[in-house]
Amino acid sequence: MNGAESLVRTLKAGGVDVCFTNPGTSEMHFVAALDRVDGVRCVLCLFEGVATGAADGYARMADKPASTLLHLGPGLGNGIANLHNAKKARSPMVNIVGEHATYHVQYDAPLTADIEGTAKPYSHWVKTSASAATIAADAADAIAAARTAPGQIATLIAPADATWEEGAGIAAVPAIPERAKADEAAIQAAAKALKSGEKVMILLGDKAVRAEGLELAARIAEKTGAGLLAETSNARMERGQGRVAIERLPYPVDQAVAVLAEVKHLILIGSRNPVAFFAYPDKPSLIAPEGCNVIMVATPAEDQPEALARLADAVGATQKLVIPSRERPAIPTGALTPETIGAVVGALLPENAIVCDEGVTTGRRFFPSTHASGPMDWLQLSGGAIGVGIPMATGAAVACPDRKVVSLQADGSAMYTVQGLWTQAREKLDVLTLIFSNRSYNILRGELANVGANNPGPKALNMLSLADPDIGWVNLARGLGVDATRVESAERLAEVMKSALRAKGPHLIEVVM
């Protein structure tokens, strides 16, 4: 077998059996090898940002890496923003990036670029294969790197001659170390704080916001009176009916500071000491108050449910929690606002849904109205690089073909990677997209004031507006093969959403605000 086939077979043997791609000439041997290897699903994306975002969504739901196949430096470049999001979400991913044949790089052909330099800021592991003889072993190392806790981005650069020359067969993935256990001293410090009678906040992130971790954390909070919050952005929360209902640390810095203002001890489990999303004049970078005792119990790379179980024992929170049934909101009528949309979504989100949330300003307060929905997985934009929603929903649907994916999507962000709708159509993925059409980068209107750029003039405001012309989402979706409906009232949204949830396959609703 040639190098390409040994690469594809090694990926498959290592459990990496889905590839999101937009290939070019240098990747043709990889593409050709797909027909000689059963059981690897290759999904075409019309832009590389869709491929990397889909691999992120896939990894969040499958808890294992997908691969991407990208075309030299510029193809990798197009994927960077969603690699950034995946890195911040700690999603495992194996990128295969084609490169000119080893002997051809020196000639600086038009597509020649510094691929390693492009990859490094957005990858934990980068290697260029030297030859077909080593490419399988390199791929095995890449898989091991990707699967190293808490989840990493591995980028393997594959020169064309390393794919077309004779390869060395399949390589086995090296053993991946177990997640480290949390330090006992940190558990004891947290237990002491929890028993101190002083105000304590437990901040959860990473795997601690799945059902098991949430239940343990809620027990601890109930037993000790501590507060409980999730991080502002979470790669994957298990939430809704039958699960612990918690809120997130707010995005706006003033609100976040207010939430933690009186906290004496901040216990971190799978989370980081919270920082402001941006710097603002005369506002702090660190959210916790000065002098707050910050206790890192379990890092994102450590075993968080195990740490929570030990902490629960240490404070005597041994009784499994009874989670009360909650009531969904009623379906409202009238204009589409963040509140009425949140109520419709809360009323209708089905059991076992996967929710991809890039709702930005519209979606900011959706948690309270959806605590009784589902149960469901809730995936958020993690690195702040807008344009992850449509790709993430695409990848999640590939990972979980039997589940309904609901993509809650801001309009400005959706435009970044709108090409992903075509992949949803081609693969007949069961994704319902709600586009929140407020025709504005609405978040920036608030940010202008926050950074002290007050009294914006018409030129500034024009840069925040998506109007003139309005984007016609029904036309756009249909052009990409996805059927779509436009709604202008809450009752009509409910009606169309009900019907779309009953059907299978992709659909888009333009929610006109």
* Contact set for its own copies, span 39-98 (CB under 8 A): 42, 44, 46-47, 49, 73-75, 77-78, 80-81, 83-85, 88
Nearest to 193 by CA among 170, 224, 233: 224
What residues between 376 and 395 interact with its own copies by CB under 8 A?
A: 382-385, 387
Determine if 290 is a binding residue for its own copies (CB under 8 A). Answer: no
The residue range among 126-134, 308-316, 400-408, 446-454 that interacts with its own copies, by the rule CB under 8 A, is 446-454
Nearer to its own copies, 350 or 456 (CB): 456
Out of 108, 198, 254, 488, the residue judged to bind its own copies by CB under 8 A: 108
Determine if 351 is a binding residue for its own copies (CB under 8 A). Answer: no
What SS3 state is found at 93? Answer: strand
Nearer to its own copies, 334 or 469 (CB): 469
Determine if 237 is a binding residue for its own copies (CB under 8 A). Answer: no
Nearer to its own copies, 84 or 239 (CB): 84
Whole-angstrom distance, CA of residue 199 vs CA of residue 263: 5
What SS3 state is found at 110? Answer: coil
Out of 460, 488, 498, 504, the residue judged to bind its own copies by CB under 8 A: 460
CB 378 within 8 A of CB 57: no
CB 138 within 8 A of CB 129: yes
Whole-angstrom distance, CA of residue 248 vs CA of residue 365: 10
Question: Following DSSP, what letter does each residue of 299-333 receive, concatenated?
Answer: -TTB-HHHHHHHHHHHTT--SPPPPPP-PPPPP--
Out of 29, 90, 207, 243, the residue judged to bind its own copies by CB under 8 A: 29
Nearest to 315 by CA among 194, 489, 178: 194
What SS3 state is found at 353? Answer: strand
Determine if 255 is a binding residue for its own copies (CB under 8 A). Answer: no
Whole-angstrom distance, CA of residue 318 vs CA of residue 78: 49
* Position 337, amino acid: T
Output the smallest distance, CB 434 to its own copies, in A.
Answer: 17
Output the smallest distance, CB 25 to its own copies, in A.
Answer: 4
Number of residues in contact with its own copies, rule: CB under 8 A? Answer: 102
Whole-angstrom distance, CA of residue 321 vs CA of residue 481: 46
Nearer to its own copies, 301 or 471 (CB): 471
What residues between 191 and 230 interact with its own copies by CB under 8 A?
A: none
Residue with tokens 């507060």: 227
Out of 456, 486, 495, 505, the residue judged to bind its own copies by CB under 8 A: 456
Nearest to 11 by CA among 167, 179, 177: 167
Nearer to its own copies, 156 or 386 (CB): 386
The residue range among 198-206, 255-263, 270-278, 394-402 that interacts with its own copies, by the rule CB under 8 A, is 270-278
Nearer to its own copies, 60 or 219 (CB): 60
